Amino acid sequence: MKESTVTVFVRKELDQESQTNSELRALISDFKRYKSGVQVTYFGKDVPYHDPKPYAERAKLRHVHVLDKVKTVRVRAGTSDSALIYTEASMTPNTYYVIDFIVDGAHQKARDFSYMNWLIDKAEQFRMRK
């Protein structure tokens, strides 16, 4: 697969944390490579959020499962309880915004109405600008 040019923005607080957290910095870098068309073996399923309907879908809120790096899985077939949450720009192709990374408990967090609304708000703010 041919690599494409991709731009990735990161929520300010997450970006600041990545300055001192080399694993988070590598994860964000690998996300950019992944969206450029490079296979990242520890990324599993990449799927949209549907709830709360229709707001999560309108905000193009998505998450990619981050697998335990020692597991061997088929490309994008794996699931885990860790997720990198992002959205795509509405007007600029191949432009993404990483909103959050949940190390553990991502499925439970997705059922938290106030957290999901916070994600939707962040996604919509980004999509209005890009």
Q: How do residues 90-104 score in pLDDT, each as one tens digit? A: 999 999 999 999 988
Mean pLDDT, the chain, whole residue set:
89
Domain boundaries, the chain: 7-129
Please state, for a pLDDT cut of 90, what percent of the chain lies above it: 77
* Confidence (pLDDT) at 80: 78
Rounded to whole angstroms, the maximal C-alpha distance in the chain is 39
Q: Which residues of the chain have pLDDT under 70?
A: 1-3, 69-79
* Strand ranges of the sheet holding 43-48, from the earlier edge strand across to the other edge: 7-10, 95-102, 83-88, 62-66, 43-48
Contacts for 130 with CB less than 8 Å, ≥ 6 apart = 9, 89, 90, 91, 92, 95, 97
* Confidence (pLDDT) at 9: 98
pLDDT tens column, 30-45: 999 999 999 998 998 9
